[in-house]
Amino acid sequence: MFDNAAIAHIGKGIIAATLPKSEWTHAAHVAAAAHVVAARPDLVAEAAMPGLIRRYNEACGVANTDTAGYHHTITLASIASVRAGLALAPAGSLAAQVNWLLAGMLGDKYWPERFWQHDTLFSPAARRAWLAPDRGPLPFAVRP
């Protein structure tokens, strides 16, 4: 469960590339996307997050390659799912909304595999650029 301070810590840590790598969990990915979408109107998440994540990975010693590090399709799908989820979440603090998202589909780190075949999702092409789902349509719009 997150509180507002934890979400701000994660969001600011990704932006500054200072978040300890041990804190970069699946739930932290959701919290970081929510922070950028909801608390940083000066940033367009779909444009900002790719560079922020790549830079963060490099700061943590993680190479951004065709098999590791930054993943464009998952990033854009995650931002879109967070954006759509926040619009549907019960009114309340950002922390309450993020916790609500994590109690649903986004709490499962394997949720993208509901929409993409594993081999498609983890292909170099999906890491480099947006690939539309090949199992079924997403229930929200993506801004590639």
pLDDT for res 143: 82
Is 52 contained in some domain?
A: yes
Would you say residue 124 lies in a domain?
yes
Domain count for the chain, please give it: 1
pLDDT at 83: 96
In a domain, 15, yes or no: yes
- For 116, the domain range is 4-128
Q: Which helix (H) or strand (E) holds 55?
A: helix 45-59
Residue 140, in any domain of the structure: no
**Residue spans of the chain under pLDDT 70:** none
pLDDT of residue 80: 97
Per-residue pLDDT tens over the stretch 36-54 = 999 999 999 999 999 999 9
Residue 139 included in any domain: no
pLDDT for 29 equals 97
What phi and psi, each to the nearest 5 degrees, are found at residue 6? -65, -40
Question: Please, are residues 138 and 73 in contact by the beta-carbon 8 Å criterion?
Answer: no
